[in-house]
A and B are shown apart, each in its own frame.
Chain A
Amino acid sequence: MTPEDRASLHAAVFRNTAKDSAWIGYWLARHQQTEDLEEEALAQKLGINVDNLILLCLCRTPRTDHFLEDLKVVCQRTGASERALAQVLKQEQVLHRPDSSRPASTVGFLMAASDRPEEQSEPSDDR
């Protein structure tokens, strides 16, 4: 595959998964907008390369009532950091809720300042 074809295919994945909240790509696209991140920077934040970022976009958004279980499956498949992805998803799902009520879940909830470096005392459920 030529670099141009690869770029075209990647763009198609980003574009089409960004249309439907059923796919993780939707939330990652919003996070890119929120944080003004390019794909490479987003991939780095999640601990993966761009090829695995593409696969991550194609995974289903973790269900609210099975969040940790679904998150684990998706991260095992793509190599993404569970903690980093959970933070991204929770941040964007809060920002895009129709009302301002806070969710009961505490996963990643306190990390409002997303550009801070990761702290050392976090739960060790990363890959």
Chain B
Amino acid sequence: MPEPFDWRTLAADWFPHEEAVVAILRQHYPQASTDALHDAFVQGLLEGAQSLRYRPEQGTVVNFLVGCARRCLRMLVRSDTASRQRDEKKGRKVVADKTASARDVLDALADTDLAQIARDQSARTLEERRYLVLWEQGIDDPAQVARALGVEHLEASLQEAHRKRTHDRIMKRLTRLPERCTGEGPGP
């Protein structure tokens, strides 16, 4: 920022960056609604302004706000998805128990650069990375998952089998990351 900021009006001063921040968020989360994007922006803005963590030498205000808003948006999208799943009919398949523990790993790293390292180590192929993006956003629509994995030409049962293998593979790597970090357990 070119001038010394005033902590009392900092969020108001940064508010005009909304358009730039939301545009970037939309690229990373194309499925998110406009309302969710705006909520994430405002929540990130308030948290960022209140924390007083921004340092100009570390990057632009927009990048800082994007980081703050992304964390909020991840929580919002997961919360919305969880809420919808609870309301759905009994015929819908239930998310496996291992999913929660694997998400805990990324959530625990959400505030650090290690989260990206965790993503890189757990999802190695393009299809795995696409699947992980959907999974982090809480999206498990079979059609979208099949497109991400490149198996939309297969019949439904084979698509599901492919999804499950990919899912299990990624989660296995994620849950073993803490072991690798502490030096315990087998290496990659």
Chain A interface residues (CB < 8 Å from chain B): 1, 4-5, 8-9, 11-13, 15-17, 20, 22-23, 54-56, 58-60, 62, 70, 73-74, 77-78
Contacts and interface: CB of A to CB of B under 8 A. Distances in A.
A59 B42 contact: no
B15 A54 contact: yes
B6 A12 contact: no
Interface stretch (B32-40, B84-92, B121-129, B146-154): B32-40
Nearest to A12: B38
17 contacts: A1-B19, A9-B38, A9-B41, A9-B42, A11-B38, A16-B43, A20-B46, A54-B15, A58-B12, A58-B15, A59-B8, A59-B11, A60-B7, A70-B8, A73-B6, A74-B9, A77-B6
B18 A9 contact: yes
A22 B8 CA distance: 10
Contacts of B38: 5, 8-9, 11-12
A8 B18 CA distance: 12
Instruction: Say whether chain B's binding surface is mostly helix, strand, loop, or mixed.
Output: helix
A12 B42 CA distance: 7
Interface residues of B, number: 21
B77 interface: no
Contacts of B7: 60
Contact of B41 (A12, A56, A73): A12
A55 B12 contact: yes
